[in-house]
């Protein structure tokens, strides 16, 4: 099998769907198309009908979206990462086990030719005793070259379920998953705290209250400290907009508190405002010069690089 000149990158997460037409050699993005039809929403639509099986339903959605691309590229191989390989996706694949080595074939993927003619390379996720991920392992593989100058470190990928991936001698060895983003969503919208916080954009003037929350997270006693947000609002008329970032700081501080004991380099990869918020929180726990940052552009490139890496491994088989 020859290396294709172009491939279609598919990032099919829980809540979002994205296709990119990519020049394989340069990783230049030629076309891009996005929808809000993540795996969860497409699966819900699948359950409301009985005409098609799950694989056909998902593959038909995928083929419909490809019509947005030039006709001559609609038959390119599609490299799919994310939740599409989960049990609510196009086809469930088993997780690969950590450790994973970017230089070896110990990730898991499957080449499928679908009934509607689509040619796809479906990438599975990675698991450990304490966590699992689908999609982030592709970003990690894509970032690996940038980590090589450090013998050991921890790669942080903040999100709804933040991933902390241990890196040692060019190998990703361990993984922990933190429900920081989901807890924030539940507490700010569905708990007693919902009337004491108000969503607002991150800005310089929120730094002080955010760091106050971070310190409370570092100190532990999370459940009692959480209720203090409500108490400060009722008793001392604390501003809801400030409380929003006190709450965020508490949860992020609790997530990062163990890093005060590490001598490893921490690689933080995130888009804004998460990049700035996590950087601010890490200032209080890390030894100076132990933080390496990667921004949204780095993450976008890493995802494509990781997909290309797996595509090339598949071609060599």
**Mean pLDDT, residues 56-83:** 96
89, 39 Cβ separation under 8 angstroms: yes
CB half-sphere exposure, 143, CA atoms < 13 A: 28
Q: Does position 129 have pLDDT exceeding 90, yes or no?
A: no
Q: Tokens 């918020």 map to which residue? A: 277
Cα–Cα distance, 255 to 182 (Å, whole number): 13
Q: Does position 105 have pLDDT exceeding 80, yes or no?
A: no
The distance in angstroms from the start CA to the end CA of the chain is 9
Do 122 and 193 sit in the same domain of this protein? no
Do 71 and 134 sit in the same domain of this protein? yes
Do 79 and 199 sit in the same domain of this protein? no
- For residue 202, give the 3-state DSSP assignment: coil
CATH code, 89: 3.30.420.300
Structure tokens at 76: 């390119």
Structure tokens at 136: 């982030």
**Who's near 162: CB < 8 A, 6+ residues apart?**
156, 177, 178, 180, 181, 255
What is the number of other CB atoms lying within 10 angstroms of the CB of residue 11? 22
- Position 261 scores a pLDDT of 86
Do 123 and 222 sit in the same domain of this protein? no
Cα–Cα distance, 115 to 228 (Å, whole number): 57
- Position 148 scores a pLDDT of 87
Residue 292 covered by a domain: no
- Position 95 scores a pLDDT of 95
Cα–Cα distance, 39 to 132 (Å, whole number): 17
- Ordered DSSP codes for 45-75: HHHT--SS-HHHHHHHHHHHHHTTS-GGGTT
The total domain count for the chain is: 2
Do 134 and 19 sit in the same domain of this protein? yes
E strand residue ranges, 187-307:
265-269, 291-294
Q: Does position 135 have pLDDT exceeding 90, yes or no?
A: yes
Q: Tokens 């609002």 map to which residue? A: 233
Q: What is the DSSP letter of 5?
A: S
- Position 102 scores a pLDDT of 83
Which residues share a beta bridge with 176?
Answer: 164
Do 195 and 310 sit in the same domain of this protein? no
Do 133 and 241 sit in the same domain of this protein? no
Cα–Cα distance, 234 to 239 (Å, whole number): 10
Residue 281 covered by a domain: no
| Of 206, 238, 256, the domain-final residue | 256
Do 144 and 222 sit in the same domain of this protein? no
The pLDDT mean for the chain works out to 94
CATH code, 245: 3.30.420.310
Which of 187-191, 221-225, 227-231, 244-248 is predicted with the least confidence, judged by mean pLDDT?
221-225
Q: What is the DSSP letter of 3?
A: P
**Who's near 155: CB < 8 A, 6+ residues apart?**
140, 143, 147, 163, 164, 165, 167, 172, 267, 269
Residue 269 covered by a domain: no
Which residues share a beta bridge with 166?
Answer: 154, 174
Do 118 and 197 sit in the same domain of this protein? no
Residue 224 covered by a domain: yes
| Of 256, 276, 305, the domain-final residue | 256
Position 24 confidence tier, pLDDT thresholds 50, 70, 90: very high
Q: Does position 188 have pLDDT exceeding 90, yes or no?
A: yes
Which residues share a beta bridge with 12?
Answer: 17, 82
274, 158 Cβ separation under 8 angstroms: yes
Position 245 confidence tier, pLDDT thresholds 50, 70, 90: very high
Do 214 and 145 sit in the same domain of this protein? no
- Position 217 scores a pLDDT of 95
Structure tokens at 133: 């991920």
- Position 224 scores a pLDDT of 86
Residue 175 covered by a domain: no
| Domain carrying residue 195 | 180-256
**Mean pLDDT, residues 141-156:** 92
Residue 91 covered by a domain: yes
Cα–Cα distance, 243 to 196 (Å, whole number): 7
Do 184 and 137 sit in the same domain of this protein? no
Do 192 and 121 sit in the same domain of this protein? no
Structure tokens at 106: 């110990």
Residue 236 covered by a domain: yes
Residue 261 covered by a domain: no
């Amino acid at each position: 099998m020859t290396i294709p000149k172009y491939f279609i990158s598919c990032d099919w997460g829980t809540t979002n769907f994205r296709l990119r037409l990519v020049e394989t050699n340069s990783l230049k993005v030629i076309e891009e198309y996005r929808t809000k039809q993540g795996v969860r929403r497409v699966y819900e639509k699948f359950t409301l009908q009985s005409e098609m099986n799950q694989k056909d339903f998902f593959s038909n959605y995928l083929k419909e979206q490809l019509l947005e691309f030039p006709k001559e590229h609609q038959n390119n191989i599609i490299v799919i990462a994310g939740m599409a390989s989960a049990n609510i996706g196009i086809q469930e694949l088993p997780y690969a086990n950590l450790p994973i080595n970017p230089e070896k074939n110990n990730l898991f993927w499957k080449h499928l030719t679908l009934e509607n003619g689509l040619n796809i390379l479906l990438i599975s996720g990675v698991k450990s005793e304490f966590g699992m991920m689908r999609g982030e392992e592709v970003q990690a593989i894509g970032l690996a070259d940038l980590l090589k100058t450090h013998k050991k470190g921890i790669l942080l990928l903040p999100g709804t379920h933040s991933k902390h991936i241990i890196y040692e001698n060019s190998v990703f060895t361990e993984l922990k998953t933190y429900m920081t983003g989901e807890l924030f969503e539940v507490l700010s919208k569905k708990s007693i705290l919902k009337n004491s916080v108000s969503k607002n954009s991150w800005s310089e003037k929120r730094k002080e209250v955010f760091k106050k929350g971070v310190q409370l997270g570092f100190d532990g006693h999370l459940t009692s400290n959480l209720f203090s947000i409500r108490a400060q609002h009722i008793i001392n008329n604390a501003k809801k907009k400030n409380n929003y970032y006190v709450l965020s700081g508490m949860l992020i501080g609790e997530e990062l508190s163990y890093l005060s004991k590490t001598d490893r380099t921490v690689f933080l990869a995130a888009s804004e405002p998460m990049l700035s918020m996590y950087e601010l929180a890490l200032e209080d726990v890390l030894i100076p010069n132990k933080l390496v940052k990667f921004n949204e552009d780095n993450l976008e490139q890493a995802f494509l690089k990781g997909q290309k890496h797996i595509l090339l491994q598949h071609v060599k088989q």
